[in-house]
Amino acid sequence: MKINKKIVSMALVAAVGATVAGQAFAAEADTTNAAMAVNGEAAMNELVRQGVLNGYGTQGLKPEQQASRAELAKIAQLAFKLELGSATAKTFSDVPNGAWHSQYINVISGLGIMNGTSATTFKPAAPVTQAQLALVVSRITQIDMATVTSWLSQYSPLAVITRAEIAQVVTSAQEALANAPVKVMRVKSLSKMTVEIVLSKPIAEEEANLDLAQKNLTFNNGLQIVNVPRLKSGSISTYIVPVTTQKAATTYTFSYKGKMAGSFASSQENIRMDSTRSVTSDTFEVESLRTDGVVDYGYVIQAYAGGRGSLAFALDEDNQYNGQAFQIISSLRDRVATITPQGGEPIVAAYVPFTQSTDGRQGAKFRLPAGQSLKVGTSYTVTADWFTLKNQTFVAQQAAPLVIESAKQTSATSLEITLAADPKDELFAGRGVTLTADDGTVLTAQYKFQSRKGAVGVFDLLNDGQLQVGKKYAVTPIGDWATVASPVNLGQ
């Protein structure tokens, strides 16, 4: 929802689906007053439960007391979880910093939902009319005014509202939003590999998996989802959707849950990558830089933000942060890059899962097919159909293998491998070890993606293998990704 062109989309700030468009919502919201209206006092108790409304101690909730503009600002901000985002708070001479209502008025006025009574005053203690309440709720939710006013037992535009009436209308709006089916509101292509979709409300948690996503959201012309749509940080219903590489000059139509939902023109924008280099004998990386306006989605989606610390941030509806526009690298799952040795034939290298943004760097790893390796001193050129490299070539360098120092059993089906030094990167990814028992039994274990902590990585046994009590296992790497300085044994 846009209040005006200067206000960020409410999809970025309203936690109960303020991206719902009025036209799409009207059919669901057009219910009778008897069905939707909530008893005023019961509604107040519900807002108390939500932490939105406070009582007056022994005097109770005072449902019949006239409500002030400050109270409406507080209830609206908390009930719909509005945030100022990139909008600018307004300054009013009668709303001093530190006043109990200042934070709520700053948000509600900054978003253009409630205006001041003049350019410099807000009049927080002034009463609110029923028409003003309906306008505020309609602006936040995009539910039409007729429906909002139907939630009042008797609508009189100039009548002053009570605390109970505010609670009744607000909780009715919450219920209407919660019961409305999810609809696709807007779709745009951000780059060849990424689509952004705004829904009318968040996807249910149980639907946030790849199988359901691929079933629910389908495209024509061969375009497919390659990984789970991820909610943008700071948003409630704007999703980053990784897709296969889009075709040039193509219009894609799409359906959501079996219903045609719209169309969009393909993007031919490549991701701007910076440089490439060899990192092991069979692996190279392609790095992108945030200083170039390129960000991996791990830093700007809600699912990963908690683990990214100060590196995480929220983009606005135009994918800008602090005035800088960003390209978003969505999931690299199943992506490939082509590497061509000077004077040789191209080789297709596969992306190594979970390496696109680790250790604070955006250095996605790509691995040559099994049995192939980079030739030291040879110049290689790297290309792909989804990125453009500022520096396309690198000369393969001698890469010392990792050194396995010790192994420790953590369960019957897993073990920890400790390297002689922290690789400072996700170089365990895709690697395996064999465990040969003293009776000749051989087990295989593979690195558990994203389990590394410093020099230690977790490896899980494959093919239902289990470590047996009383047996001693010799641990050796599969391939030349690592060496063993001295025999590494596990168990006894």
* Domain residue spans of the chain: 10-179, 184-265, 280-395, 402-490
Taking a C-beta distance cutoff of 8 angstroms, is the pair 262, 184 a contact?
yes
If you average pLDDT over residues 132-158, what whole number do you get?
Answer: 93
Q: What is the pLDDT of residues 227-250, one digit of tens each?
A: 999 999 988 789 999 999 999 999
Whether 70 has a pLDDT exceeding 90, the answer reads yes
Question: So what's the pLDDT on residue 22?
Answer: 37
More confident residue, 224 or 30: 224
Binned at pLDDT 50, 70 and 90, residue 472 comes out as: very high
- On the 0-12 / 13-18 / 19+ scale of CB atoms within 10 A, 74 is buried
pLDDT score for 19: 31
How confident is the prediction for the chain on average, in pLDDT?
Answer: 89
| pLDDT-derived band at 86, boundaries 50, 70, 90 | low
Question: How far apart are the C-alpha atoms of 368 and 347, rounded to whole Å?
Answer: 7
Q: Domain 402-490: which CATH class?
A: mainly beta
Q: Please check the confidence at residue 1 and state whether its pLDDT lies above 50.
A: no
Greater pLDDT, 39 or 349 = 349
Provide the pLDDT confidence category of residue 89 given band limits of 50, 70 and 90. confident
Q: Judge whether residue 21 has pLDDT over 80.
A: no
Q: What is the pLDDT of residue 485?
A: 79
- Residue 456: beta bridge partners? 418, 453
Tokens of 75: 């209830």
How high is the pLDDT of residue 94?
96
Residue pLDDT, tens place only, 353-386: 999 998 889 999 999 999 999 999 999 999 999 9
Q: Is the pLDDT of residue 273 over 80?
A: yes
For the stretch 394-407, pLDDT in tens is 999 999 999 999 99
**pLDDT recorded at residue 183:** 84
Q: Do domains 184-265 and 402-490 have the same CATH topology?
A: yes
pLDDT at 210: 92
Instruction: Output the pLDDT for position 12.
Output: 30
State the pairing for strand pair 194-199/184-191. Answer: antiparallel
Going by pLDDT thresholds of 50, 70 and 90, the confidence category of residue 28 is very low
Looking at residue 492, what is its pLDDT? Answer: 57
For 81-95, 165-179, 271-285, 358-372, which range has the lowest pLDDT when averaged over its residues? 81-95
Task: Give the pLDDT mean for 254-270.
Answer: 93
Q: Is residue 15 over pLDDT 60?
A: no
Rounded mean pLDDT, 18-33: 37
In residues, how long is the chain? 492
Nearest by Cα to 326 from 196, 230, 228: 196
Tell me which of 379 and 306 has the higher pLDDT. Answer: 379
Tens of pLDDT, residue by residue over 101-121, are 999 999 999 999 999 999 999
State the pLDDT at residue 13.
33
Residue 16: pLDDT band with limits 50, 70, 90: very low
pLDDT of residue 205: 77
In whole angstroms, what is the distance from residue 129 CA to residue 99 CA? 23
Kindly tell me if the per-residue pLDDT of 30 is higher than 50.
Answer: no
Closest CA to 360 of 426, 429, 315: 426
Across residues 173-192, what is the average pLDDT?
Answer: 89
Average pLDDT over residues 155-181: 92
Under 8 Å CB-to-CB from 320, ≥6 apart: which residues?
86, 326
Dihedral sign for Cα 39, 40, 43, 44, please.
negative
Alpha helices in 111-209 (DSSP H): 130-141, 145-150, 163-179
- Which DSSP state fits 309? G
Contact status, residue 444 vs residue 483, Cβ threshold 8 Å: no
Q: 418-460 pLDDT, tens per residue?
A: 999 999 888 999 999 999 999 999 999 999 998 999 999 999 9
Of the two residues 431 and 185, the one the predictor is more confident about is: 431
Q: Which residue has the tokens 């040559």?
A: 368
- Token readout for 86 is 């990139």
Whether 401 contacts 480, CB under 8 Å = yes
Provide, rounded to the nearest whole percent, the portion of the chain with pLDDT above 90.
Answer: 74
Q: Say how far apart CA 128 and CA 193 lie, in whole Å.
A: 49
The single residue listed with the structure tokens 């046994």 is: 461
Pairing of strands 251-256, 259-265: antiparallel
Paired strand residues for 199: 184
Q: Can you give the pLDDT at residue 87?
A: 76
CATH of domain 184-265: 2.60.40.1220
Question: What is the band of 39 on the pLDDT scale with cuts at 50, 70, 90?
Answer: confident
pLDDT tens for 339-360 read 999 999 999 999 999 999 988 8
